[in-house]
Amino acid sequence: MGVSSTCFTVNIYLGFTMRLFPFSWSLLVTEMTSASHPRFRLLIGWCCLMSSALLIMTVYLAIRTKWEKKSETSDKETNSTAISGNTDQRIGLPPGLSINDYIHLIRDSKEIWICHPCTSSSFTPKNSTVEITVSGLYFFHAQVTFLNPNKASVTLLKNKGPGTQKRILSKVKHDRSGTATMIRLVELKKGDSISLEIEPTNSISRLDSDTYWEIIFFNYK
């Protein structure tokens, strides 16, 4: 039962009241000067009954709305736990590891890697690179769909930084149209910068579901 149902019920009450008391308001005021008038007592009783009904409906709607919000919150928490557990099983995590953070990256109209959504705290996307802000074990998964049967490659790079040289972490070669997939598990330190390079870029699918990469940060229990 919602607000519209409540308004409909009130209209029924008012309509029934006008039929029950078919007289003008001026006449009603004159007749109600006497508290012992039968119609006056009946009107008072009817108003009390209608007020009680409206009060009961208001309380019912308030309780129902609160219960529905609580139920939705509980369902979201349950689904979140189930998804996390399924992900752990799907990628075959060893004992003692759990998923701590996640980031998903897609290419925008300027062919720059951007996060979508951007809710992670262990990564910082910047100029098509991802800076690691927390040291630990990271799982990389990249998917690139090529439209033309040309020689192509997908390369995961650890960029040059203070005290480190540019290094290839993983590379996949592709010589036909279709989807190339890369999976890599690597330990990184705070301050490391990671990027994904695709060659050539003019033959890849622009759909978010075809070309993307994602990073999962594992936390030791």
Q: Which domains does the chain have, with CATH numbers?
A: 3-88 (no CATH), 97-220 (2.60.120.40)
- With a pLDDT cut of 90, the percent of the chain lying above it is 25
Helix (H) or strand (E) holding 66: helix 38-90
Q: What is the per-residue pLDDT across 5-29, written as a single tens digit (0 to 9) for each?
A: 444 444 454 454 455 555 454 555 5
Question: Is it the case that residue 75 has pLDDT exceeding 50?
Answer: no
pLDDT over 70 at 201, yes or no: yes
The answer to which of 6-10, 179-183, 189-193 has the lowest mean pLDDT is 6-10
Looking at the predicted structure, is the pLDDT value of residue 88 above 60? no
- Residue 19 pLDDT: 54
